[in-house]
Each structure stands twice: as C-alpha cells, then as structure tokens.
Structure 1
Amino acid sequence: MDTAESLFLNSAYLRPAPLLFTAMKFSYRLLWYIACTTFLLSTVFGKKQRVQVKGRLFCGDKPASKVTLLLSRSQMSMIISNRKLRDNCSLRWAVSVHNTEFFPDLIKDDTLAKQETREDGSFHLDGTDDEIGTIEPELKIYHRCNSKHICKRRWIIKIPDKYIYSPSANEKVFDVGTINLEIHLKEDKKCLPV
C-alpha cells in the first residue's frame, strides 16, 4: 500500500462522526421525553369530549345513500392523542423520509366515528375522545354525486365548539340539515382514496 492509499483508508471519511451520533441520540431522547411528558399530561389533565352530528344528504332530488361519513379531529388538533399513545404503548415512531410522514401514529387522522348514510340519506354520528384541549371536530363527506371522476369528492364541515361537551351531559346535536351534494364547493377535492 502506498502512502496516499494509506492516508485515505485511515482518514476521517471512513470513521463515523461522533458528533452526529451524539446529536441523533439527543434528538431521540428529546422526542421520547416530549412524548412521555405529553402522555402524562394528557392522562392527568385530559378530558373526555363528545360530539354528535346529524343531517340528510341528497344528490339532486334523490336521497344519497351509502355516502361515506367520517367524524374526525382536525389535522391541527391531532399532534398528540392520549388514546393513540395508550393504544400504541410501543410508540412506533417510524420516520418515513420518502413520504415525509414524521410520527405517523401520532399525526394521522384520528377518526371519532365512521358511517354510511342510510337509504333515505340520513345519518347520525356520535364520537368521543380524550384530549387536553378542545378536539376541534370536523365532518368529512366522501361522495360521487355529480362527478365524472373515478375518485370520490370530499367535503369538510367544521363543527362549532358549542357542540362539544362532556359524554355524561345530554347536549345539543349539531344538525347540518339537508344538503344537496350536487353543489361544487371551492375546497372540494377531486381525487381522494377512501
């Protein structure tokens, strides 16, 4: 082996940088600390919240039957979920660089209730969840009414805070009324897998 080759093989390029590993250990410890602290806070201070939504959907003059409805928490309110942490004790914190989905078990959509509309187009969704703050619920409607696309259209209806209450209380149900799904909203999404 000549001197240039020997210098290259013994160079710092082949040795892992200890500073990088130290930073990675610190970041994982910090994330673990944040998750555990949040879990403890949500367990101690978290409160059970309930929301109910009802209504009737039409496609033109016909009832829209078998339309998929999701009652879920808003994406902004789903950073940490007490129930998710309890259900996934192992805290699978897989980081997918390709999809840029960091902590998928903690950030993914948290469905409170799921249902299809009845034959007459009516529905009633009832969902509860534990949360430190307000759950910020929204009703997602996935349908193909007045659409020539393969994928379903999606509507999102935000539910006002005054319809969120304790599960033991018998409070008001948020009534969206009768909705004609032929309407095209500006925020309507054309192609979503459901």
Structure 2
Amino acid sequence: MEVVIFLFLISSCYGSLLDIFGREQSVGVEGTLLCNGKAAAGVDLLLYDIEVLENTALHRGRTDKSGHFKLWGTKIETTDIEPELLLYHQCNFKQKNPYCAKKKRIPIPSKYIVQGTSVKKYYNIGRLDLSSNKWDDGFKRCHLYSGIIN
C-alpha cells in the first residue's frame, strides 16, 4: 500500500514539474493564396507564437508556384501558445519596391494546438485572395521589409 501511495505521489509531482518547465505544443496551418484570382507565388510566411516581450518564430516559409503553403511548428512553453500566421505580400501594392510589403495577420484557433511534436490537424485557411479588401489590414504605406526567408 505504501508503494502505491509513493508511486502516486511521484507521478503527481512529475506531472506538475513538467508543467513548471513547459510542455511541447505543436500547431500547423495550410492554405492557398491568390492575388486577383491568380496564384500568389513567393509570398513570405511566418508562423509565430505571440509573446509579451518578443514574438517567437515557429516556422518560416513561402508559397509555391500555385500559391499553396503548409507550415508547422513546435514549442516548449509553460502556458498555451498563441499562434498566428503573418503574410508579407505585394498584391495590388502600388510601391513595387522589393523592400516593402503589405502584412496580414491570421490568428490560428486554439483547437488546432496539440500536445507533442506531431500536428494532428492543420488549420486550413482555404483559398484567400489578397486583393480583397477583406484581407486589408488598413496599411496604406510601405513597411520596411527585408524578407523573412534567408
């Protein structure tokens, strides 16, 4: 009986210690980006976790020639991660400067966050046309941008 109680106490403490030092959490997002109905190839993407002091990158990528992308990332954290997808694009952007881009944030619902390193289900944003005012964050000026993909 004492052994059972001891094992129960150890397992309870072990679980609590894991939460103190953080737990592995993963998230994934996919979709297709368009510009005026055509594939938006080469759009820079950043999957990141919102933090109080500084956001943490989980994965960087670009859309392929058909405008499709699939990103996933894992992070060890004591609290729940708050993932967002950040897009840098030049769809209908009058200043065709390679160092300027519009940016768009897309929050990822918490139901797509899983414990561990394997994404079970990707958040599918579908087909988004960046030329739509729906996807305009209201930025009317150039944001200095040097690319997120090295």
**TM tier relative to shorter chain:** 0.7 to 0.9
Which is helix-richer, 1 or 2?
Answer: 1
Confirm or deny: 8 A CA contact 1:53 1:173 kept in the other structure: yes
CA 192–123 in structure 1, closer or farther in 2 if over 3 Å, else same: same
Deviation at 1:181, TM superposition (A): 0.6
CA 148–112 in structure 1, closer or farther in 2 if over 3 Å, else same: same
Indicate the residue corresponding to 1:180 in structure 2: 129
Q: What TM-score do the two structures reach when normalised by structure 1? A: 0.59
| 4+ aligned runs moved over 4 Å, structure 1 | none
Deviation at 1:108, TM superposition (A): 2.5
Indicate the residue corresponding to 1:128 in structure 2: 74
Query: Equivalent residues in 2 for 1:65-80 (5 A)?
Result: 65-74=41-50, 78-79=51-52
Instruction: Give the alignment partner of residue 62 of structure 2, picking from 116, 125, 144.
Output: 116
Which is strand-richer, 1 or 2?
Answer: 2
Confirm or deny: 8 A CA contact 2:39 2:66 kept in the other structure: yes
Q: What TM-score do the two structures reach when normalised by structure 2? A: 0.75
Instruction: Give the alignment partner of residue 104 of structure 2, picking from 125, 134, 155.
Output: 155
Cα RMSD, aligned residues only: 2.0
Aligned residues: 124
Greater radius of gyration (CA): 1
CA 50–111 in structure 1, closer or farther in 2 if over 3 Å, else same: same
For residues 55-95 of structure 1, what are the alpha-carbon distances to aligned partners after superposition, in whole Å with 9 as ceiling and x for unaligned? 00010121000000000112xxx13xxxxxxxxxxxxxxxx
CA separation in 1, counterparts of 2:91 and 2:18? 41
Identity %: 35
